[in-house]
Every structure is written in C-alpha cells, then in structure tokens.
Amino acid sequence: MPLVAMLDGERVDATKHTRESWAELQSSDDRKQMVMPLCGIRAVAKTRGETRFFAHLTVADCRVEHGGETPQHQAVKTALRDRIDAIQGWHACLEYPHPSREWIIDVLAESDDGARRIAFEVQLSSQAPLGYQARSQRYFNDRVFPVWIVPRQLEHNGIEVPVVVTGFGKSSQLPEDPAELLQLPAISSFSSENTLGKFVDAILTYPPRWPQGSPEDQLAAIRRAQEREQRARQEAELKQRHLEERIAEMNLNSASPEAAYGAHTVHTDGGPFVWATLTQCWSCEHPMMLWEAQAGDDGVQHTAAPRLKVKTDIRSKRYENHPDVHQALNRWIGETRADVGKAYLKMRRSKTKGAEYSAFVCPACDALMGQMFVSCIGTEKWSLVSAPLLKKTRTTEPSAKPRPVDAWRGKPQKQRPPNEPAVQTLYRRPTVPEELQTDRKKTWAELHSPEGVAEARQKFMGTRGFRAGTL
C-alpha cells in the first residue's frame, strides 16, 4: 500500500521519492504543512534504513487506526469490492472514512439509493474481544451493519458480533487471481451460505437476520437478565424466610395432646394407630386438632407402635378420614374431656401442586391448613392417642441342662453354647389421669357437696349401724 501524506492539499507518495528528494523533504520547511490523509493530523517524513514513511507528528489527537496491510488483506478487499460492484443496485468503496475520521471501513457496500450500508471489515490479525465490540458499536451507531471477515472463530465472551469465518489468514497462500478468494468457506451464525461469494450475494439481496442487536443492546439485555435473576433470588429468599417463619410460628403454637391433657391412649381390637397434635389456625387463631393415622394389621398383635411419619403427598382420599379413625378420636376426646375440636377434612386445590387433595381446614373460618406446614410440625408436638391392644411379652429363661459325658473317652461332648434369652420389652398401658379415675379419694369439697352427701347417705343406709331418723 503506498505511503502518502498531504502537502499543500496534494497527496505526497513516499514510494516515489528518491533518497535525495526524501532528505530534502525532511529538511524543508514544507513539512510543517504535511498532514496524514485519513485523520488530518500533522505528518512528518521519516527514514529508517531503506524504509521511507510518513508518521504522526503527535498521536494524541488521532482516533483513526493506521495499520499496515498484508497482501492477503488487500486481496480479500479487492475480491469483495469486485463482487459488490457486480451486483445490481450496489457499489463498493475502499477505505471509506467517517466524516469525523472516527472510523475507516475496509470495504463499504452501499445501495444506490443510500438506504442500506454494510461494512466489510477484513481482520486477519488477532484482536481483543473488546476491540470487536467497540468498533462494531461505532458502525451500529451510524446505521451501518458490520461484517467481520476472520480466519478463525472468535473467543466467546457473552457478546456476539457478525462474523464470517473463512480459514484464510495473513500467512495463507495468496492466489494469482483475488476472485478465487470468493470460493473460501463462509461459516456464520446468521447465514446458511457456504462460500464467501454466495454470502456477499445473500447479504446484499436480503437484509441480514441479526436478532442479537448491537453490543450495547446485548449488554443491556444481559444487565436486565441479571437484574431479573437477582430479583428472583431475593423473592425466593424472602419466600423461604416467610415460610420458615410460618413453620416456626406453627410449631410454637402447637402442643402434643399428652402435654395438654395427660397420657391417655384409646385401645381398640385391631384398630388404627392415630397420632394427634393440637394447633391453632394461622388466620383466626382458632384451636383445633390435626391427626395422622395408620391402619393396624389384621390378626397381628403389635408389641410397639410404629414410627410416626406425617404424609406430605396427599391424594383425594386419605386414611385419616376413615370412620374408625374418627371413632377413635371422638372416644379420646370424650374420655379426656378435651375442649379442643377436630379440624375438618375437605377437598381443596393447591396452587403449588396444581391439583386437588383432601386437606385439613379450620372449623371456624374454613382456612386451609397446608399439608406441607402440617408435616413440618416437630415430632415432639405429636402423641399417640389411639392404638390396637398391644401384646404383653415376658422374658423367658432357658432351662439348664447337664453337659453329657462321653462314656468311652471320659470327655464331655461338644455342645453348642446355650441361646441367649431374648430381651423383650413389656408394654405398659398408660395410666388414666387422676380426674378420670373412679376409685380415687374425693376431696373435702366433693364430700360435702349435695351429690357427695346424697352418696354418703345411700352408702350409710346399707350398713348395720343405720338407725332411722339419724340423718
């Protein structure tokens, strides 16, 4: 590429000057009027060995990239220019500069009506991703669609620019005819054409499909996505914190029936195992009883109650609504004289599961008691209120037998060690609360009440020492 500068408004070609004329140009006062042709910055003629060139007097104010071009770079530009000029309605401009010299396009394809402009940038040397983004943004700002012709795929950094990979680099073999470069493979994400020439024809015939937008648009979209993710995380954390607070509050407001009314278990013949907890409605704070039930095995006498496991997955039908379970609960409430009623079981729709299931509801305000919250109530807040008759077992001692003696040899015969006695736990029926015992001692107030006096009279009338008219 010729090295030129502007001298009194005329282009000065460094390659046409001899060493003597170049030395005169360096020493003359005309160098004060020389400027770089692309950026307009003052230029100075320099010599380095056999190389003669123009350089910036100062580069502080220059915003134009001045780089040396390899023959491969010039050949690709020539092939692109010739192909663009051959398409009807389009013309090509080499080294097209911005009016403010902010950028220079390698090959600008412009429609004859000026409605569309496409910038073909041949980038055979390496360039940082930020360089592709910044230079592409300049073109997008001026309503020019950029296309980068590169030898290999760019490093992915989250921001995409229109790229066509050809495999042709600055060290590739140069063909005699630049038009042969149009047969290079063209790999791009926004075109299905397989050669560079077909790609140029397609992008000039039809507008390019590039939904990603400019680098600034992509950065804005990334920021919006990050903000949405941050809001989603904050909402999830807030929801989880609110959930944990509700679970803690429900555990705080719950108690086991044994702690509230004493240890008492209703025993049935093969009936269900029923555990219960006392809690209150989260909406109206109405007290209620919730329960979990498990069927007993028919014909099997249990030695211990199974482990409590509150269900989390509930269907439309559940064993907790079985008549035997309700009968056991009602019997327990009657025997303990508990002043807490049972919750209702109704069909409700869960927004979380998106399905209907049989759920506990408040008997006062009909508020749903979510099964997930019920399953999070601590096991210490539950107690066994109903169970089948448990089998009482005892520890059996094996009978001691004398060791047989071998009569022939006078030695004891080999014998297996005696079996260890099986340790079995005795099940004790829970005691009845004092106020429910019929043989307990009555208090002074109960003995001197009208009912107590009447009972004493009846008992006294049946004794031998009764005399009429004594009482």
Q: List the pLDDT tens digit at each of the 471 positions of the chain.
A: 444 555 554 555 555 555 556 566 655 554 445 666 556 667 777 666 555 556 666 655 665 555 567 899 999 999 999 999 999 999 999 999 888 777 889 999 999 999 999 999 999 998 999 999 999 999 999 999 999 999 999 887 789 999 999 999 988 999 989 999 999 999 998 999 999 999 999 999 998 889 999 999 999 999 999 999 999 999 999 999 999 999 999 999 999 999 999 999 998 887 899 999 999 999 999 999 999 999 877 666 777 888 999 998 888 889 999 999 999 999 999 999 999 999 999 998 877 667 888 999 999 999 999 898 999 999 999 999 999 876 554 444 455 455 554 444 555 555 555 555 444 444 444 454 555 555 556 777 777 788 888 887 777 665 444 444 444
- For residues 190 and 208, the answer to whether their CB atoms sit within 8 Å is yes
Q: Residue 148 class from Cβ within 10 Å (0-12 exposed, 13-18 middle, 19+ buried)?
A: buried
| pLDDT number for residue 204 | 95
The pTM of the whole model exceeds 0.85: no
| pLDDT number for residue 99 | 81
| pLDDT number for residue 361 | 95
Give phi and psi for 5, each to the nearest 5: -145, 170
| pLDDT number for residue 441 | 66
| pLDDT number for residue 103 | 82
| pLDDT number for residue 345 | 94
CA atoms of 417 and 395, how far apart (whole Å)? 19
